[in-house]
């Protein structure tokens, strides 16, 4: 790692911001030839009164007012290929670039499904060591791709913004492949959920080895050109010399193009008559852990669920997606990034809701608000 560059990033940038993509080298992800268009139905939208809470104190507030006062940059609601709401805030416009933060994790999950379907990756039961020989040693050789996807690899991870935390070493690091090889095993793989960005570095290295391509190139070739994106995207890299994608946080695009990616997932990996991602992989990735996979190579074989978010029996974490059981037959799921970046997908209402922002805002739990928006749709 270039120590001078690393410490400069830590000390000058200090706390991650949504404009950080301007300060990292970026790999361009070119759009495809066809743009996916949605019907404009904004004239029929009526503002919603929602229940929002901050530090446990609830209040009724209009959605428009909530978005305006919480540092939002964009909010889009799409249902059945119709745009119901499209609003921008704080100087952002439809053409403005939003960074993903950990929304990129869910995008990596979808890309893994493509690699599995093509046979580049054999199964999520494959060990990390079968792709990265460094991990063919005691303890490490038991870690599987499934455990990386479900955040239970057993690897140590130290949160924080100090330069010696793993958060900082991965976010600001200039040689992330080397950083991944410094991970320490502290628990039995598969035993404990621990949200851990080392897992994403390893998934990126596996995808590189399996496909023979940098992750941004593979993502462009297999996914982005088929989402109907209207603009080029980019993936921030650790450094020009190393050229490794910031797997945990670095995808950058317009809010509407993030919504187009969500629409691809809502449609079970199919767009414009083309099956881009296996429908079985989408379903296995986002469904409640108790639902068995239809395809052997997609099965995790872990005792579900390893994580219940917000202390709720309804919440779960699957293959780099967050999920929310609505009833025995329905669930919503979402990609979540720091400072409140969301792609919220509601199959029961055939809707996708995007919210991006400069910061989280004074709101306890955005998914509860996004669910209310989804619930209000016809």
With a cut of 60, say whether residue 311 has pLDDT above it.
Answer: no
> Tokens in use for 1?
């790692």
pLDDT digits (tens, 9 = 90+) for 168-180: 999 999 999 999 9
With a cut of 90, say whether residue 307 has pLDDT above it.
Answer: no
Cβ atoms 303, 316 nearer than 8 A: no
pLDDT digits (tens, 9 = 90+) for 262-288: 999 999 999 989 999 999 999 999 998
Rounded percentage of the chain residues whose pLDDT exceeds 90:
85
- Specify which residues 78 forms β-bridges with: 83, 352
- Residues 262, 257: Cα–Cα separation, whole Å: 9
**306: confidence class by pLDDT, cuts 50, 70, 90:** low
Q: Which helix (H) or strand (E) holds 88?
A: strand 82-88
Tally of domains within the chain: 1
What is the rounded average pLDDT of the residues 203-223?
98
Average pLDDT, the chain: 93
With a cut of 80, say whether residue 73 has pLDDT above it.
Answer: yes
Q: For residue 82, count other CB atoms closer than 10 A to its CB.
A: 15
- The position carrying tokens 């996708």 is 352
- The position carrying tokens 């130290």 is 158
Cβ atoms 206, 128 nearer than 8 A: yes
Model confidence, pTM: 0.96
For 29-51, letters b (16+ CB in 10 Å) and e give bebeeeebebeebeeeeeebebe
Rounded percentage of the chain residues whose pLDDT exceeds 70:
96
pLDDT digits (tens, 9 = 90+) for 322-375: 999 999 899 999 999 999 999 999 999 999 999 999 999 999 999 999 999 999
Q: Is 122 helix (H, G, I), strand (E, B) or coil?
A: coil
pLDDT digits (tens, 9 = 90+) for 183-194: 999 999 999 999
- Please give the residue range of the domain that contains residue 267: 3-376
With a cut of 80, say whether residue 14 has pLDDT above it.
Answer: no
Contacts of 88 (CB under 8 A, 6+ apart): 73, 74, 94, 96, 255
- The CATH number of whichever domain residue 194 belongs to comes to 3.40.710.10
pLDDT digits (tens, 9 = 90+) for 120-149: 999 999 999 999 999 998 789 999 999 999
């Amino acid at each position: 790692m270039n120590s001078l560059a690393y410490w400069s990033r830590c000390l000058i940038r200090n706390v991650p911001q949504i404009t950080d993509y301007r300060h990292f080298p970026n790999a361009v992800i070119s759009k495809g030839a066809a743009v996916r268009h949605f019907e404009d139905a904004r004239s029929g939208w009526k503002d919603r009164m929602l229940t929002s809470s901050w530090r446990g104190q609830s209040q009724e507030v209009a959605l428009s007012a909530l978005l305006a006062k919480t540092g939002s940059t964009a909010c889009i609601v799409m249902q059945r290929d119709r745009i119901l709401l499209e609003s921008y805030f704080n100087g952002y416009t439809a053409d403005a670039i939003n960074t993903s933060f950990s929304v990129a994790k869910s995008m990596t999950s979808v890309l893994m499904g493509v690699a599995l379907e093509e046979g580049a990756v054999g199964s999520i039961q494959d060990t990390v060591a079968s792709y990265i020989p460094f991990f063919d040693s005691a303890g490490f050789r038991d870690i599987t791709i499934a455990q990386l996807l479900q955040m239970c690899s057993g690897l140590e991870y130290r949160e924080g913004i100090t330069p010696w935390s793993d958060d900082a070493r991965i976010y600001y690091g200039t040689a992330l492949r080397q950083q991944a090889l410094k991970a320490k095993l502290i628990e039995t793989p598969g035993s404990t959920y621990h949200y851990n960005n080392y897992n994403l570095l390893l998934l990126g290295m596996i995808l590189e080895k399996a496909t023979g391509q940098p992750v941004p190139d593979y993502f462009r070739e297999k996914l982005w050109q088929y989402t109907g994106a209207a603009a080029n995207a980019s993936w921030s890299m650790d450094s020009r010399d190393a050229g490794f994608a910031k797997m945990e946080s670095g995808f950058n695009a317009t809010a509407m193009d993030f919504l187009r990616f969500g629409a691809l997932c809502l449609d079970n990996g199919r767009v414009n008559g083309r099956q881009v991602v296996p429908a079985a992989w989408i379903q296995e990735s986002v469904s409640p852990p108790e639902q068995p996979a239809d395809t052997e190579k997609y099965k995790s074989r872990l005792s579900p669920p390893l994580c219940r978010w917000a202390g709720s029996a309804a919440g779960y974490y699957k293959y780099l997606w967050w999920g929310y059981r609505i009833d025995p037959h329905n669930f919503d799921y979402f990609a979540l990034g720091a400072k409140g970046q969301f792609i919220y997908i509601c199959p029961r209402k055939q809707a996708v809701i995007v919210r991006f922002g400069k910061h989280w805002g004074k709101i306890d739990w955005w998914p509860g608000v996004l669910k209310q928006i989804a619930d209000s749709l016809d």
